[in-house]
Chain A
């Protein structure tokens, strides 16, 4: 086989994949073009407060934020807070995706199922997820289950609707050519509908990550004693702007990282789309 000699295995494969991931994710940032924009911005951030052009109490310079970050990391268990938040986030993400993708696929596949349950989501989804907060606090109390529920609400709808759309738009000719060979509906869902909607599903997961983080911050800021949103709420109460900025940047980084992971998954799993 000529094509097998390109395959690497074991640890070398892992390193190779990591390299590919970093190149994909960071390539944009370390391009000369973007550095031309980023470097002056960072410089301004450092210098404007330092020379009191903007009051340093409102916009702390970059070095102060970096020092605060280090301090939080060493003395205020920032990693533990992040771990708590991420743990909840991934549980919620798993639940939401595990529910939304199958339900969306069923709705896209069958008109009867669609007629029964689609209006339900159309009624419920316009409620902005933050509006669920008071009810949720009363029902679930303050704690992980409340945070998880809020995030599930945030992630569920975008994933559901995008999956449903993607499945519904499957080209009937693909279905026809599989049906002629005798494919059952379940096989069609697994081998045709799903892959046709794959791009839409990954896209919806990206939206889901963004919405999930929004709900993470909102939920944790309302109640709880752990998590990145809690730190942010606390910083707000004590008017600690450097801490706020650290929390903002950490959540931003988490969102960026997760979306980059999803992008990489898309590139790897949908290799058939590359080169189109």
Chain B
């Protein structure tokens, strides 16, 4: 379970006059994401949903509030007073708070993350990419319990097969198409058997036909994990309303930035498997479109 308690994130940016200015990326977001559910974050660009996802993954510290994954805090918030600031600086003098450790590989939480691009390392083969993740995940175990290289490769092959990349094990990402690259990223994320997968616009760079196939495959693999008593929660950041509605149990609409906050939470209470043209699905899509449309128009009125 992911508990998000009033997360806010401020940045200081440089404005046109070259002066420092505060920018609110995320404002007071609270959420509860139960195990094994799929949640989409949707909103106009620049509303802070990607920032929110990175805070969720522990890649950025929130300015305020905290996130707990299964009761364990992800990253402490940034200091707010001068005294706290000094303590913080002293503690993280040498190594950043994001780091796992200097020499020991140790995952903090059972998370995998998929980025739109840059998801897989171009300098490793498909197999190498998956083995890399598997190796890291087994690093916490005692030396005697660690799987051998052959076992890791065997496991990696299984997951590559699952996403339909059997036979492409020794190809480099540059030799794969965009859709296949995202499949590889998916295989890498699934192979570590995470409890949570965070996806930052995972299928945005893939053509429409491939995208639908990928979505269906994602749902299939998610369901398979759920059936094997290892439910995976998936948090997807998306621009694509139909995709969000089709995939998720709950769509969270962010208000337009700066200062994105939760505007609407829309439950998609349609049993799976769903049809893309299901009237209920279409109706929910219409509602979300209407909400976003309203926000965008309001904003343009202010702009005038």
A residues touching B (Cβ–Cβ < 8 Å)? 2-3, 110, 112, 171, 173-174, 176-187, 191-192, 195-196, 198, 270-273, 275-276
B115 at the interface (CB under 8 A from A): yes
Tell whether, in the assembled complex, residue A179 and residue B94 are in contact, meaning their CB atoms are under 8 Å apart: no
B112 at the interface (CB under 8 A from A): yes
Tell whether, in the assembled complex, residue A182 and residue B106 are in contact, meaning their CB atoms are under 8 Å apart: yes
Cβ-neighbour of A270 out of B94, B107, B113, B123 (below 8 A): B123
Known: A110-B94, A178-B121. 9 other contacts (CB 8 A): A176-B59, A177-B118, A178-B132, A182-B106, A182-B108, A184-B103, A187-B105, A187-B136, A272-B122
Interface residues of B in 89-127 (CB under 8 A from A): 93-95, 98-108, 111-115, 117-119, 121-124
Q: Closest Cβ of chain B: how far from A67's Cβ, in Å?
A: 50
Q: How far is the CA of A222 from the CA of B300 in the complex (A)?
A: 74
Tell whether, in the assembled complex, residue A176 and residue B102 are in contact, meaning their CB atoms are under 8 Å apart: no
Tell whether, in the assembled complex, residue A185 and residue B101 are in contact, meaning their CB atoms are under 8 Å apart: yes
Residues on A with beta carbons closer than 8 Å to the beta carbon of B103:
184-186
Residues on A with beta carbons closer than 8 Å to the beta carbon of B170:
3
Total CB contacts across the A-B interface at under 8 A: 94
Given A176-B57, A176-B59, check contact A184 B115 (CB 8 Å). Answer: no
B133 at the interface (CB under 8 A from A): yes
Tell whether, in the assembled complex, residue A173 and residue B94 are in contact, meaning their CB atoms are under 8 Å apart: no
Q: How far is the CA of A175 from the CA of B21 in the complex (A)?
A: 28
B175 at the interface (CB under 8 A from A): yes
B264 at the interface (CB under 8 A from A): no
Q: How far is the CA of A176 from the CA of B94 in the complex (A)?
A: 18
Residues on A with beta carbons closer than 8 Å to the beta carbon of B95:
110, 185
Tell whether, in the assembled complex, residue B192 and residue A276 are in contact, meaning their CB atoms are under 8 Å apart: no
Residues on B with beta carbons closer than 8 Å to the beta carbon of A110:
94-95
Tell whether, in the assembled complex, residue B172 and residue A271 are in contact, meaning their CB atoms are under 8 Å apart: yes
Q: How far is the CA of A275 from the CA of B175 in the complex (A)?
A: 7
Residues on B with beta carbons closer than 8 Å to the beta carbon of A271:
172
Give 4 closest A-B pairs by Cβ, nearest first: A182-B107, A173-B118, A195-B123, A272-B172
B293 at the interface (CB under 8 A from A): no
Residues on B with beta carbons closer than 8 Å to the beta carbon of A112:
93-94
Residues on A with beta carbons closer than 8 Å to the beta carbon of B192:
181
Residue of B nearest to A174 (CB): B118
Tell whether, in the assembled complex, residue A176 and residue B101 are in contact, meaning their CB atoms are under 8 Å apart: no
Tell whether, in the assembled complex, residue A192 and residue B112 are in contact, meaning their CB atoms are under 8 Å apart: no
B174 at the interface (CB under 8 A from A): yes
Q: How far is the CA of A181 from the CA of B133 in the complex (A)?
A: 6
Q: How far is the CA of A208 from the CA of B97 in the complex (A)?
A: 36
Contact with A along B267-284 (1 / 0, CB 8 A): 000000000000000000
Residue of A nearest to B111 (CB): A180
Q: How far is the CA of A186 from the CA of B105 in the complex (A)?
A: 9
B137 at the interface (CB under 8 A from A): yes
B206 at the interface (CB under 8 A from A): no
Q: How far is the CA of A192 from the CA of B99 in the complex (A)?
A: 14
Q: Closest Cβ of chain B: how far from A192's Cβ, in Å?
A: 7
Tell whether, in the assembled complex, residue A185 and residue B136 are in contact, meaning their CB atoms are under 8 Å apart: no
Q: How far is the CA of A270 from the CA of B104 in the complex (A)?
A: 27
Tell whether, in the assembled complex, residue A176 and residue B54 are in contact, meaning their CB atoms are under 8 Å apart: yes
B173 at the interface (CB under 8 A from A): yes
Residues on B with beta carbons closer than 8 Å to the beta carbon of A177:
113-115, 118-119
24 contacts between A and B (CB under 8 A): A2-B167, A3-B170, A112-B94, A171-B118, A174-B121, A176-B57, A177-B113, A177-B114, A177-B118, A177-B119, A178-B132, A178-B136, A180-B112, A181-B137, A182-B100, A184-B99, A184-B104, A185-B101, A185-B103, A191-B121, A191-B132, A272-B124, A272-B172, A273-B122
Tell whether, in the assembled complex, residue B123 and residue A181 are in contact, meaning their CB atoms are under 8 Å apart: no
Residues on A with beta carbons closer than 8 Å to the beta carbon of B94:
110, 112
Q: How far is the CA of A237 from the CA of B59 in the complex (A)?
A: 65
Q: Closest Cβ of chain B: how far from A166's Cβ, in Å?
A: 13
Given A181-B133, A186-B102, check contact A272 B54 (CB 8 Å). Answer: no
Residue of A nearest to B103 (CB): A186
Q: How far is the CA of A198 from the CA of B301 in the complex (A)?
A: 51
Tell whether, in the assembled complex, residue A179 and residue B133 are in contact, meaning their CB atoms are under 8 Å apart: no
Give the most central of A3, A183, A198, A271: most B CB within 10 Å: A183
Cβ-neighbour of A179 out of B59, B114, B140 (below 8 A): B59
Q: How far is the CA of A174 from the CA of B59 in the complex (A)?
A: 12
Q: Closest Cβ of chain B: how far from A208's Cβ, in Å?
A: 22
Tell whether, in the assembled complex, residue A182 and residue B99 are in contact, meaning their CB atoms are under 8 Å apart: no
Residues on B with beta carbons closer than 8 Å to the beta carbon of A183:
100, 105, 136
Q: How far is the CA of A171 from the CA of B117 in the complex (A)?
A: 11
Q: Closest Cβ of chain A: how far from B88's Cβ, in Å?
A: 14
Given A112-B94, A192-B121, A270-B123, check contact A182 B174 (CB 8 Å). Answer: no
B139 at the interface (CB under 8 A from A): yes
